[in-house]
Structure 1
Amino acid sequence: MTYMIPDDIEFFVLGPNDRVDDPPLGCVALNQVVLAAGLRLPFPRMARKFLREWGIAPTQLCPNGWRILVGFLILWNQLGFPRPSAKEFNSLYSFKLDGKMSGWWYASVKVKTGGSIVTQTPDLIKNWKKFWLFVQGLWQFSANDTRPDVNIPVRYHELSKHLDIIHLVQFDQHCTDLFLSMSSSRYTSHELTPESIERARRARAVDENFRSSSALITEKNLAAARLSPATSHHPQPRKL
């Protein structure tokens, strides 16, 4: 597939001894599928902020997790809402641990939230774990980023214990309890504020077809929500 990528960002394939959870100095591991899910490079400030608050590397969020996050940010922008915090996102979604692949997380609809804000995400993405790349260059901040103050974790970490955002959900057979080995006293429920409840209500009132992942995640919408590189970054069509 072809994506608009600035020419000061380079990709290279992993060697036989390379690991996605421990990339070379100055690099980040990335899966090609997350570009189709809406992530653009350099990383948008909001994506950096969320990853930093969660304390996880980009590869620890599965493709549908990226698709939900990006669609959520686009919809909030379309509705004229203030930029959401990680706490607001996690009041609507919780994280599950992929029991098949250690260290992978994905966004899952929380119980009693009224359904996913972002709809119609793929049920199955075949072989996505085969398409890893290392990224080097100005992948984290653009050359003219005036606020490069939020660094992204690049090595695998446990989901941050400092977040007051976690709710337990019922896991299916492919998942294990994220908190099985953690003390539940470290976490407390984060309730939606009245303002957040109203924003979620208005978002769900939008026709489901208009908040499907395919309808939301377009180059035009990414640019409008400032989730893709500005034209001054000189992105070039690059086939990966």
Structure 2
Amino acid sequence: MDSSDSSLDLTAKLENPKAIVARRTSPVRGSRYPPIGPPSVIGAEEVAVWRKKYELPDDVVIRVPDPEDRVSDFGVDEVPFYEGYFTSGFRDRIPSLVAKISETLGISPGQLNPPAWRTLIALQNLGDLNGLVIGVAEVLYSYSVSLLSGTEWRYHLRPRGKEPLVREILKKERKRLPAFEGNWTEKFAFMHLPGFSSIWRLEGRLVVGIKKII
């Protein structure tokens, strides 16, 4: 699934189109909150594999995390991302539903876990193919946005009914997928995507339907 055609205009033209790995332009450090999540285990070799495997354009600017970087250490105009985003169809632009849900919550798109991206991209493609208008209201009618981890402030989509609009990946199936091998929360890098929040927000603006998973 390729979601680039129907993405929001929040992803403006990238600066330095020949850049392969970018340095942090303006780190989000000095927050009153402690660093969130484990350090990244992704290096230049893994990023190179992602570029080849998912045919990422050369003008997509990806910054390889420093050894001490946490997922909350992204800079201005950067979004933390995981390989699971690519397996769902993400390439060089944030899918519109992912962007709209993130804006509504007031969080970084990187706070949505990979299965949430998969569901939102599938819903967006379903709407595009059938001429349906699927926005935040339609998503929240069928799903609640639930807190996946209170210590790392990640979110996922929980179906409100017994029959979700998009087939969920069962936990036992996820373990067999390359994107979820080992601890996926440690396998992240940073992509330069202008226009998105430079803050890993601990509280979203949308409070209805957000529940902590016990």
CA contact (8 A) 1:22 1:154 kept: no
Match of 2:72 in 1: 21
SS of 1:89 mapped into structure 2? helix
Query: Would you say 1:167 and 2:167 are equivalent positions?
Result: no
Match of 2:135 in 1: 85
Distance in 1 (alpha carbons) for counterparts of 2:78 and 2:93: 12
- How many residue pairs were aligned? 155
Q: How do 1:14-163 residues align onto structure 2 when only pairs under 5 Å count? A: 14-82=65-133, 84-99=134-149, 101-110=151-160, 113-123=161-171, 124=174, 125-126=180-181, 127-136=183-192, 139-140=193-194, 151-161=195-205, 163=206
Shift of 1:59: 1.5
CA contact (8 A) 2:81 2:191 kept: yes
Tell me the percent identity.
Answer: 23
Q: How do 1:166-185 residues align onto structure 2 when only pairs under 5 Å count? A: 166-167=208-209, 175-176=213-214
Shift of 1:53: 1.7
List runs of 5+ in structure 2 lacking aligned partners.
1-49, 175-179
List runs of 5+ in structure 1 lacking aligned partners.
141-150, 177-240
Higher strand share: 1
SS of 2:55 mapped into structure 1? strand
Shift of 1:101: 4.8
Distance in 1 (alpha carbons) for counterparts of 2:94 and 2:127: 19
- The higher-RCO structure (CA 8 Å, 6+ apart) is 1
Per-residue CA deviation, residues 173-230 of structure 1 (Å, 9 max, x unaligned), is xx24xxxxxxxxxxxxxxxxxxxxxxxxxxxxxxxxxxxxxxxxxxxxxxxxxxxxxx
**TM-score, scaled relative to structure 2:** 0.63
CA contact (8 A) 2:79 2:196 kept: no
Shift of 1:31: 1.3
SS of 2:124 mapped into structure 1? helix
Larger CA Rg, structure 1 vs 2: 1
Change (3 A) 1:12 1:101: same
